[in-house]
Amino acid sequence: MDVPLIEHVARVRPDWHWVFIGAKSNVVQLTAPNIHFLGPKPYSELPRFYRHIDVCVLPWVQHNVFTSYGSAIKVREYLATGKPVVISPLYEYLRTPGVRIYRSVDEFILLVAEALACDTPRERQLRQDAVRDCTWDVRAREVASLFRRLLDGQDVRKALLPRVEQRQIRRALE
């Protein structure tokens, strides 16, 4: 996590509250009146907490090897809530509809403020639609279909396009 970013934003925007759910890392040493650690929660209880969250953020350090290739399942969970999502640039989500990506502290503040002021029902639906088919059952069916096609000698290159691109192509053709 980008601890300096969180500390700076907590200081310059004291009206914004940071709520962390999950185990607190020993590396994250944050204390401020608007920073709250709630500890781990069962997945079944998360919707109750998300109802009170205005913007989901993933403030990862940008110049880190992990973030250059890392995949954050958490971002899919955020998108599924329909809440605005502001994240550091993660390759997997660079072209995901509805995700706001920041590259500086000032841009982070701007994008969170924009999300708070300008979110619409259409954007919420767009975010949820972006991950609607991202379940393990859907993924298993896709992999099984690829294997069937390969075994039948079919060209699977089109099937390997990321689902977001496939959806964009379908919408453009409609």
Q: What is the pLDDT of residues 34-71, one digit of tens each?
A: 999 998 999 899 999 999 999 999 999 887 776 666 66
pLDDT at residue 145, as a whole number: 81
pLDDT at residue 11, as a whole number: 97
In tens, the pLDDT along 134-169 reads 777 877 887 888 878 888 888 777 666 555 555 554
Mean pLDDT for the chain overall: 85
How far is it, in rounded angstroms, from Cα 32 to Cα 12? 12
pLDDT at residue 27, as a whole number: 64
CA dihedral 30, 31, 35, 40 (to 10 degrees): 60
| pLDDT tier, 133 (very low <50, low <70, confident <90, very high otherwise) | confident
pLDDT at residue 58, as a whole number: 94
Which residues, other chains included, contact 22 with Cβ-Cβ below 8 Å and sequence gap of 6+?
A: 39, 40, 41
Average pLDDT over residues 116-144: 87
Q: What does the chain look like in DSSP terms, one character per residue?
A: --HHHHHHHHHH-TTS-EEEESPPPSS-----TTEEEEE---GGGHHHHHTT-S-EEE---SSSHHHHH---HHHHHHHHHT--EEE---GGGTT-TTEEE-SSHHHHHHHHHHHHHH--HHHHHHHHHHHTT-SHHHHHHHHHHHHHHHHTT---TGGGS-HHHHHHHHHHH-
| pLDDT tier, 73 (very low <50, low <70, confident <90, very high otherwise) | confident
How far is it, in rounded angstroms, from Cα 59 to Cα 105? 10
Q: What is the 3-state secondary structure (H, E, C) of 118-158?
A: HCCHHHHHHHHHHHCCCCHHHHHHHHHHHHHHHHCCCCCCH
How far is it, in rounded angstroms, from Cα 37 to Cα 18? 8
Read off the tokens for 49. 């907490």
pLDDT at residue 12, as a whole number: 98
pLDDT at residue 91, as a whole number: 83
pTM for this entry: 0.77
pLDDT at residue 153, as a whole number: 81
